[in-house]
Amino acid sequence: MGVARRLILVLAVLTALGGSVAYFTTEMGLTGSAQHARNLGWIVFALMTGLSILLALLIWQSLSSSFRKIRQQLNQFKSEGEIGLIMIDERDELANLVACINEYLTGIKSCLQEHRIQKKELEVQARVAEAERRQTEAMIFSISEAVLVTDKFDELLMANPTAENLFCFHLKNSYRRPIKEIIEDEELLSLIRQTRQNKSLKLTRLLERPDPEQNKQLSLKVLLSCVLDTEQEVIGVVVVIHDVTAEKEIAKMKDDFVSSVSHELKTPLAGIRAYAEMLADHEADNPQAYRQFCEIIQEQAQRLNRLIDNILNISRLESGVLKISKETLNIIEIVNDVITMMQPQAQEKNIELLRQIETNEMWISADRDMIHQAVMNLVSNALKYSHPNQQVLVRLGIQNNRQGIIEVQDHGVGIPDASLEQIFDKFYRVQENNHLAGGTGLGLHLVRQIIENVHEGRITVESRTGKGSIFTIVLPLCIPNPKEFALSNANQN
């Protein structure tokens, strides 16, 4: 039975009881029993008050029990983190109220379940997106070219360390910052804006920018592309920057090499042709002139042969197809052979070619022809870039009982400081010294290939402009077997 119905029943009973008391009291008052009427009124009042209190207590106890059950179930829902239905007796005073609450809770529970499903789907999508982002980031980080990725507001979304080094910014502090605050290259910023505004899928430009660290101009090939969503709206721009400075330098060196080789080939060929024509025209009217013409032709042919050999040897060394025949040999013998061979060239310029040998033996494991070529190239260069009436010294010694030292020292024009780091590069020639001697820039490169790559040694250079140069070869020593030792002593004797 509901609370409202119980209250109505109590009120009806009390009203009927009050009406009866009022009737009897009035009748007693009319018959003269006033004292009895008053007593009866107080009795009825007390009885009605007691009944009211009793009924109120009973109703309150029933409601308290219902509220306690509801509170216990709500606390259980709270501790379990779930939403359920409140279970209560259908005859309870709060049954209708609880039914409405259950209906509301059922709706909330359905919405919560939907939200939980959506949350799980979003978490899965977020994990997939994060994995894809990390994979993309890893791919971008592994690219050797500089990569920048901006959003539709021209804010930096992603970049790799190459871009960080190229534009001198800190990657961790630059995410979601406007790209114009990170990069100061106005031409590149303009290209990014142009690509985004025009929705360009591919834009290529070649930019030049200074490199303060290397004090030279960088050539950058910039590729820009818009990133579009499913509705063909721009959501970002990808910038890939390829440093083509080295490629341009190599192309320029190759052009210079071809030009230099062409010139070097023309010189001996022109000499051979001229003197061959003179011989054909019988201009050598005596044996001495005839012999002189033949010697010049032979000399130019040998020069041409050396040039071709240098080119082929470098190519074979770099490709690994040149056959290397190492043997244990006394390098002092090779140095003596080179000095003897180069004496005529030294005498032509009145240069004194000296040797200083601090030991009787320096045994190394090497390819005889290659080591001979390396030492001869250094001595030949020393003679070429020395002035007449100067000295060229070849010094041999042992360092730490494990390394053989060969030094070739001249007092010629020297090498500028700016050229020292490039002096062993292929095709490189010191521009300031080109007027002194011809060449292709291959001799020192060939020496470095022979010493460092084939014989695991090292070569260094010290030089001062106008004072001369010292080229130093360091090679590991070895212990000769008795037969080789005896043969070397026999050759020296």
Per residue of the chain (493 residues), give pLDDT as tens.
Answer: 455 555 556 656 666 666 665 555 555 555 555 566 566 666 766 766 776 677 667 667 766 777 777 778 778 777 777 777 777 766 666 667 777 877 787 888 888 888 888 888 888 888 887 777 777 777 777 788 888 888 888 888 888 888 888 888 888 888 888 988 888 888 888 888 888 888 888 888 888 887 766 677 888 899 999 888 888 888 889 999 888 888 887 787 777 767 766 766 776 788 788 888 888 888 877 888 888 888 888 877 877 787 777 777 777 776 666 677 888 899 999 999 999 888 888 888 899 999 898 888 889 998 888 899 899 889 988 998 888 899 999 999 998 888 999 999 998 888 888 888 888 887 677 766 665 666 667 788 888 989 998 888 999 999 888 888 999 999 999 877 655 555 555 555 4
Cα 222 from Cα 210, distance rounded (Å): 15
- Is there a contact between 110 and 84 (Cβ–Cβ < 8 Å)? no
SS3 of 222, please? strand
Number of helices (H) and strands (E) in the chain: give both, helices first.
12, 12
At residue 89, the pLDDT reads 65
At residue 1, the pLDDT reads 46
Chain centroid to CA 249: 23
Cα 385 from Cα 429, distance rounded (Å): 12
Query: Treating both helix axes as pointing N-terminal to C-terminal, what angle do 482-492 and 331-348 enclose, rounded to 10 degrees?
Result: 30
Question: What type of residue sits at position 13?
Answer: V
pTM surpassing 0.85? no
Cα 377 from Cα 348, distance rounded (Å): 17
Cα 135 from Cα 132, distance rounded (Å): 5
What are the CA-CA distances from residue 488 to residues 8, 328, 331, 481, 493 (Å)?
Answer: 137, 11, 10, 11, 9
Direct distance between the N- and C-terminal alpha carbons of the chain, in angstroms, rounded to an integer? 137
At residue 379, the pLDDT reads 92
Cα 366 from Cα 364, distance rounded (Å): 6
Give the pairing of strands 156-159 and 203-211. unpaired
Cα 201 from Cα 225, distance rounded (Å): 5
Nearest to 349 by CA among 380, 375, 394: 380
What are the CA-CA distances from residue 134 to residues 130, 143, 144, 145, 226 (Å)?
Answer: 6, 14, 18, 18, 21
Query: Treating both helix axes as pointing N-terminal to C-terminal, what angle do 287-319 and 245-280 enclose, rounded to 10 degrees?
Result: 160
Structure tokens at 221: 């090939």
Nearest to 413 by CA among 395, 397, 429: 429
- Is there a contact between 237 and 149 (Cβ–Cβ < 8 Å)? yes
Handedness of CA 82, 83, 84, 89 (dihedral sign): positive
The residue with tokens 């018959």 is 31
Buried b (16+ CB within 10 A) or exposed e, 294-309: eebbeebeebbebbee
Cα 83 from Cα 331, distance rounded (Å): 94
